[in-house]
Chain A
Amino acid sequence: MERITIDPITRLEGHGKIEIFLDKEGNVANTYFQVPQLRGFERFCVGRQVEEVPLLTNRICGVCPEAHHMAGAKAADAVYHVDPPRTAKMLRELLYSAFYVTDHTTHFYALAGPDFVMGPDAPVAERNILGVIHKVGLEIGGKVLQCRKYGHTVIEMIGGRKVHPCTSIPGGLTKGITEEQRKEIEEMGKWAIEFAQFSLKLFNDIVLGNKAYVDLILGDIYTHQTYYMGLVDENNKVNFYDGKVRVVAPDGTEFVKYSPKDYAEHIAEHVEPWTYLKFPYLKKVGWKGFVDGKDSGVYCATPLSRLNAADSMATPRAQEEYDKFYKTLGGKPVHQRLATHWARLIELLYAAERWVELVTDPEITSPNFHTIPTEKPTEGVGIVEAPRGTLTHHYWTDERGVVTKVNLIVGTTNNYAPISMSINKAARSLIKKGTVVTEGLLNMVEMAFRAYDPCLSCATHSLPGQMPLEVTIHDADGNPIRVLKQFVE
């Protein structure tokens, strides 16, 4: 049996290892997406004051600390049974919207962009953000950096720091914003809306205007029919910060809609011996293996899932794009995983519009940004949509508010089964008897899961840093016969 290894995956946070096993004919026998990192965070928080935890969970990930901070903040509110005032919720959501704009922008241009703009067969050294800038122009690189700057400025104004926010406490925030800051945030928000529209146009011209890419997006290789999960407001519109969790079936009908505190009734985790990460699935459907369909409890939580799980977008320009999206792809729900990149840009636009909507609300500068908790702390759940999927933080404390137990289900964790299935399907379709394994081909297998924008740092709550890429091909006896590297020693 031959073995092809992609280890670890490039352009991905955290450490992952793809092992592809070939049979004697050179076809794919099986694939494993192993996550060798152990979760450690849930242990580390035990014994801490619960109000410290949103500051600690910031450090699970250097890319989306805001998501963990918000989920943690909401869980801490719930532990103290306190409802923050409207201004506090709006400020948190405003920070969160600016974060989404920055995060989705960086993802599209630094991660997904290279695949589409350069092409999956472009040489390694060009398949990165420098290559993208080289091809589409310096101006775009400048805009990406500008977008990041604006987003981080808003995060700093409301969250106290550019990257790891620290102003959320049980009951609200430690500070509000001044009218001067409000004006500045509004200006940046308007720029962000234009930039989001520009990005959608870029996608339209470069990707949708290229038949080869459209075929790739619509192709069966990257298509799976699963359940889809996302947070929605009371009108079933996408919301990143608050609401209920809604799950729709592969045919698009609503399967369940639950409050954060009830998540454990609906989600269970399946264990496999060859990986540390567990596979969440819908309890009421049951675990049937790594298979598609409405009888399989596998579900997906990504920008695509969020658009599928909702009925519409809450802002007008994003809604126009939402309609165009489904019209182009043949109706709801959309099952083509590469369409996630498009869905992400629609969310980018919504986040920018929501940014302006919130910052122009008269109550945003109100000094009423904190409600002092009065109840005894016990237990609480906070759920937000992280860019990579539904994020659940569940804390238990004693009567002093000292943490006794933590459970985290992180964005990418939700997608572990779908990612495994996507890699498997892509490998089977692209690696066949006699096919020479080129890097571009391996990159296409990686494209399968990169669409999920996975963050393994978050999923394993462990931060192993970055490592070079190595692929080892083993012959039928397990001897390494070929080694491909992405780095120079």
Chain B
Amino acid sequence: MKTLVIGLGNPILGDDGVGWRVAEEIARVTAGRLQVEIDCVSLGGLSLMERLTGYERVILIDAIFTGKNPLGSVTTFALDSLADLTAGHSASAHDTSLRTALNVGRSMNLPLPADDQVLVVAIEAQNVYEFSEELSSAVSAAIPLAVEAALELIRSNQEGE
């Protein structure tokens, strides 16, 4: 399956940059040995959907704030298991939630992965609203765990082929 790994987030907003750091680390440790494309973007909604066209499987790595897990916890889930908090409603001007954007794209017959093939590796973080290029220590410590979780997802798919 054509696979894309994306580090999401804003690299100058503190812990919101963890997605990029994990993706960069994956690229470093695999040194081109994997048959996947790795990228870092600061996008959401429609723009993110446009970036996913042409891939059958996507792994998104991002900071998340649920308030329910300790900082630095790494969880993995498919996009369709995430409650669409905006109930299809745009949560932002000029934009939509990723779920809505994917539905828009699919209705246009764009080649996009199914919701159960969009997998999220989420790192629990809190400090995502202050400008900084540094990660807090709990989130920084989660990087190797998130790398491993993402590699698991990549490997599990490749073994099945």
Contact = CB atoms under 8 A, between A and B. Distances in A.
Interface of A: 10-13, 37, 40-41, 43-44, 56, 59, 62-63, 103, 106-107, 110-111, 114, 124-130, 133, 138, 141-142, 145, 148-149, 152, 162-164, 450, 453-455, 462-469, 486-489
Contact of B96 (A110, A467, A486): A110
B90 A138 contact: no
A447 to B, nearest CB: 13
B126 to A, nearest CB: 12
B44, B86, B91, B104: most-surrounded residue (chain A CB, <10 A): B91
B93 interface: yes
Contacts of B13: 59, 463
Contacts of B90: 10-11, 110-111, 114, 128-129
B29 interface: no
Given A10-B89, A59-B12, A486-B87, A106 B105 contact: no
A182 B104 CA distance: 31
A488 B97 CA distance: 14
A110 B95 contact: yes
Nearest to B97: A466
B92 A128 contact: no
B104 A141 contact: yes
A107 B93 contact: yes
A275 B5 CA distance: 40
Interface stretch (B30-38, B113-121, B128-136, B139-147): B128-136
Given A13-B94, A465-B128, A489-B83, 12 more contacts: A10-B86, A10-B89, A44-B132, A106-B94, A110-B95, A110-B96, A125-B89, A127-B89, A462-B129, A463-B10, A463-B16, A488-B83
A62 B12 CA distance: 13
B93 A488 contact: no
B158 interface: no
Given A56-B12, A129-B90, A163 B83 contact: no
B108 A142 contact: yes
10 contacts: A12-B92, A106-B95, A124-B88, A125-B88, A128-B88, A128-B100, A163-B43, A450-B93, A467-B91, A487-B84
A56 B43 CA distance: 16
Contacts, number: 137
Given A59-B12, A145-B108, A487-B86, A466 B43 contact: no
B46 interface: yes
A455 B95 CA distance: 12
B56 interface: no
A11 B88 contact: no
Where chain B touches its partner, the secondary structure class is loop
B103 interface: yes
Contacts of A142: 108
Contacts of B43: 62, 163
Interface of B: 10-13, 16, 41-44, 46-47, 50, 83-97, 100, 103-105, 107-108, 110, 128-132
B43, B83, B93, B96: most-surrounded residue (chain A CB, <10 A): B93
A148, A464, A465: most-surrounded residue (chain B CB, <10 A): A465
Contact of B129 (A63, A450, A464, A489): A464
Contacts of A468: 85-86, 91
Contacts of A11: 89-93
A111 B45 CA distance: 13
A248 B129 CA distance: 37
Q: Which 5 A-B pairs have the closest CB atoms?
A: A466-B91, A44-B131, A11-B90, A106-B94, A487-B85
A326 to B, nearest CB: 27
Contacts of B12: 44, 56, 59
Contacts of B11: 59
A148 B88 contact: no
Contacts of A450: 93
Contacts of B42: 59, 62, 163-164
A13, A44, A110: most-surrounded residue (chain B CB, <10 A): A110
Contact of A141 (B16, B93, B107): B107
B87 A133 contact: no
Contacts of B85: 467-468, 487-488
A475 to B, nearest CB: 27
A430 to B, nearest CB: 20
B15 to A, nearest CB: 12
Contacts of B92: 11-13, 63, 466
Contacts of A148: 46-47, 50
Contacts of B88: 124-126, 128, 130
Given A129-B104, A130-B104, A468-B85, A59 B94 contact: no
B83 A62 contact: no
